[in-house]
Structure 1
Amino acid sequence: MKAFFKIFTIAFLGFIVLFNSIIFTFNYFMKDQHGKGNSIVVRAAEEDKEEVIPPDEMDILLQLASESSRINIVLLGLEGLRSDTNMFISYDPDNKQIDVISIPRDTYYPRKGYTGLGKDKFNAVYQDHGADGVKMALSDLLLNIPVDHYITVNYKGAEAIINTLGGVPVYIPELMSYEDLYDDPPLKIHFEPGHHLLNGEDGVKFLRYRQGSPGSGAMSYADGDLGRIRAQQEFMKSAFKKAISFRLPTVVATAFRFVRTDVDLQEAVKYATMAAGMEIENVNMLTLPGVDEYRNGLSYFFLDEEETKTLLLNMYGYVVETENEDDVVEIGD
């Protein structure tokens, strides 16, 4: 009997070591290796920039962030070495709420030492600094709110995840038709108006769509990339609604194979377990405040820091107290 327990103990310990080694190796290879060693991002000084946020309001925001149990993640949809889709996802485990802030890819973000064409746009940061650099740049844009993790996914990964869900239902109000025969492979998009259950390949086409081909009579988003962002947000909300109708931890564990992230598998499943039973009404889709403008012939999106501060204070549930104690204005849920 003693020999049995000795053998069992040795075998059990060996299994634990082997299992942990496998998990460690898996988590290591799930990390995004692009831009390693070049993740330091330094924003260049902006001309005519005015300080619009009082220091005390900034202190309140950063204090709220430091005391919060929120988990903040940047999701990057990659097109080659540029981030075509950028979303800040903040999960509040206490209230089981998710706030998603879409970051327009043309957001003006000048960096010291990077002066090439388009290098002063947010979607160029990944190419030069990788996912860790994007975390730093996004935190900078969001007034130093911490960005804890990143998730990157390319078109093939997005296709696989959508297929894992069994497709995503969307309503398309107008004809969408576009061709780019010079893309590799050639891109052909065609959706008739109506309700659709989009598989992985068609889902990615829907997410990429911006405008109709000339002469096709198809819709183009009137406000450009902001219109595409709204369509992407509706798609994401529909996908999440379908995901939570399944066993969310199982969906996350399956989808984990198709992304690159600094979230460990065990941690990802833990987050998904925490979010189980969440209501779709608790998913808020937002867009970074700002305005579209042209500069030197290029389209840019310029951040409105004052509105961004208000949005973030609202997200963190800031309560504004007035001189009259009976007149307390609560911002947020």
Structure 2
Amino acid sequence: MRKVLKVISAILLLSLLSAGVGGYIFLKSLNPSDSFLMQRSSENTNSETIQKINILVLGVDETSPTDPKRSDTMILLSYNPKTNKAYILSIPRDTMIKLDKYGTQKINAAYPIGGPQLAMDTVSQLIGEPVDYYVKIGYEGFKQLVDDLGGVEMNVPVDMNYDDYAGNLHIHLKKGVQLLDGEKALQLVRFRHGYAEQDLERVKVQREFLLAMFEKAKNPSTLLKIHRILKTINQYVETNIPPVTMLKYADYILKLDKENIKTATLPGTPQYVNGIAYYITDPQEIQEFIANLDSNVDDKTNEVAVNKNIKIEVLNGGGIPGAAAKTADLLKQQGYDVVKIGNVIGTTYNTTQIINRTDNKEVVENLKKILKNAIVVEDTNANSNVDVTIILGTNI
């Protein structure tokens, strides 16, 4: 019985992580006590026989019968069992793509045009790697799953107040750490209009919520709710991940620590093209970015440990939409503690500035490599509660 509970717990963890906001397994075709499946699971847990997998998460608004049901959320989960490392990559819904017969589109149009398969193929072309599986979940399933878990504790970054009466969307949350039920969690992950960087900050919060949800799922008390959770998963979530594949990765996912999960947003720049807002990407930049995410985090253990002690604020002084969020994500990958993202009001900076209040030359040199066109300004007053302020100019 203990073995069965362990396998079901691992399946749940993999499901929750792969779905980002929920998971799924074909329980109708899976009997955890089936000795054949247990044998297949045991045979396939050798790290030499299982490979890295990429799973595309599709969060879809299916509440309106007239809505084209574009994918409101697209997240790529990549997991490598050989290193027991994972990354969660947000793909902005405005990312510009080209589809046969449809021309230039935003990437969230791929799902309503061609279903999960076209969405997977499109993301595969974008990142230059195959996407193996997909998981799709709607708003109702997300809310129910959070409630089944007993809520998820999360630090709401700002006061959130937004009402869209036409779309029946009402968001009212107070800033601070709190236990969110399903309804409040949905408000959190849908909120974007109050952020300086709008959708780019929204996807960052979505990733943070996913990690909080992952930690909650690892709590032993989750096993007491397993039947209710799996019923919700079976009812609301659609996927093409076979049950045997879930079992195959079970032992590995149980050992995955939060510290071994990188999070990031697909690199790109928000731009208006013919009056339409797009997120423009560069294939070469994406290729290098994915390679960095795939790198073994242990290779940078000392660097990350040093960088974690450096508190940074990133301010958008050039007026380029999304610049601060993108830079903050890049710095976090290097291990820096980005404590604030905001805008400079009333002044436009042409040149990016690194305002340094530390005596750590190595950190300054590293920041200059990341922000290649920046100048360093030494702040001898040091009255700020952050070590470095980065003001992004128009030259980024």
TM bucket by the smaller chain?
0.5 to 0.7
SS in 2 for 1:110: strand
1:136-147 paired onto structure 2 within 5 Å: 136-143=121-128, 145-147=129-131
SS in 2 for 1:120: strand
* Aligned partner (choices 126, 136, 149) of residue 111 of structure 2: 126
The one-letter code sitting in structure 1 at the alignment partner of 2:115 is G
Aligned equivalent of 2:209: 235
Aligned equivalent of 1:23: 29
Deviations 1:270-316 (A, max 9, x none): 43432003211111111111111011211110112222111222233
Aligned equivalent of 1:256: 233
Change (3 A) 1:259 1:269: farther
Which of the pair has the greater relative contact order for Cα pairs under 8 Å at 6+ separation? Answer: 1
User: Normalized against structure 2, the TM-score is what?
Assistant: 0.57
Q: Does 1:226 align with 2:203?
A: no
Aligned equivalent of 1:76: 58
Change (3 A) 1:192 1:70: same
Q: Does 1:292 align with 2:263?
A: no
The one-letter code sitting in structure 2 at the alignment partner of 1:127 is P
Aligned-residue offset at 1:22? 4.8
Q: Distance in 1 between matches of 2:247 and 2:222?
A: 9
Aligned equivalent of 1:9: none
Q: Distance in 2 between matches of 1:138 and 1:94?
A: 24
Q: Distance in 2 between matches of 1:138 and 1:205?
A: 26
* Aligned partner (choices 73, 81, 101) of residue 93 of structure 1: 81
CA-atom RMSD in angstroms: 2.8
Aligned-residue offset at 1:69? 1.5
- Is the 1:253–1:265 contact (alpha carbons within 8 Å) kept by the matching residues of 2? no
Deviations 1:121-180 (A, max 9, x none): 00000001000111111100012x011000000001111221222111111232100111
Aligned equivalent of 1:190: 172
User: Normalized against structure 1, the TM-score is what?
Assistant: 0.68
The one-letter code sitting in structure 2 at the alignment partner of 1:221 is Y
The one-letter code sitting in structure 2 at the alignment partner of 1:224 is Q
Aligned residues: 246
Aligned equivalent of 1:7: none
Aligned equivalent of 2:154: 170
Aligned equivalent of 1:106: 94
The one-letter code sitting in structure 1 at the alignment partner of 2:123 is L
Q: Distance in 2 between matches of 1:22 and 1:228?
A: 35
The one-letter code sitting in structure 2 at the alignment partner of 1:95 is T
Change (3 A) 1:161 1:271: farther
The one-letter code sitting in structure 2 at the alignment partner of 1:124 is A
Q: Distance in 1 between matches of 2:215 and 2:82?
A: 20
SS in 2 for 1:235: helix
Q: Distance in 2 between matches of 1:166 and 1:92?
A: 30
Aligned equivalent of 2:219: 245
The one-letter code sitting in structure 2 at the alignment partner of 1:190 is H
Aligned-residue offset at 1:255? 5.6
Q: Distance in 2 between matches of 1:206 and 1:276?
A: 27
- Is the 2:149–2:222 contact (alpha carbons within 8 Å) kept by the matching residues of 1? no
1:46-85 paired onto structure 2 within 5 Å: 69-80=51-62, 81-85=69-73
Q: Does 1:316 align with 2:294?
A: yes
- Is the 1:244–1:278 contact (alpha carbons within 8 Å) kept by the matching residues of 2? no
Q: Distance in 1 between matches of 2:148 and 2:221?
A: 12
Deviates more, 1:222-231 or 1:244-253: 244-253
Which ranges in structure 2 are unaligned for 5 or more consecutive residues? Answer: 1-25, 31-48, 63-68, 297-333, 335-396
Q: Distance in 2 between matches of 1:316 and 1:188?
A: 38
SS in 1 for 2:218: helix
Aligned-residue offset at 1:317? 3.2
- Is the 1:87–1:102 contact (alpha carbons within 8 Å) kept by the matching residues of 2? yes
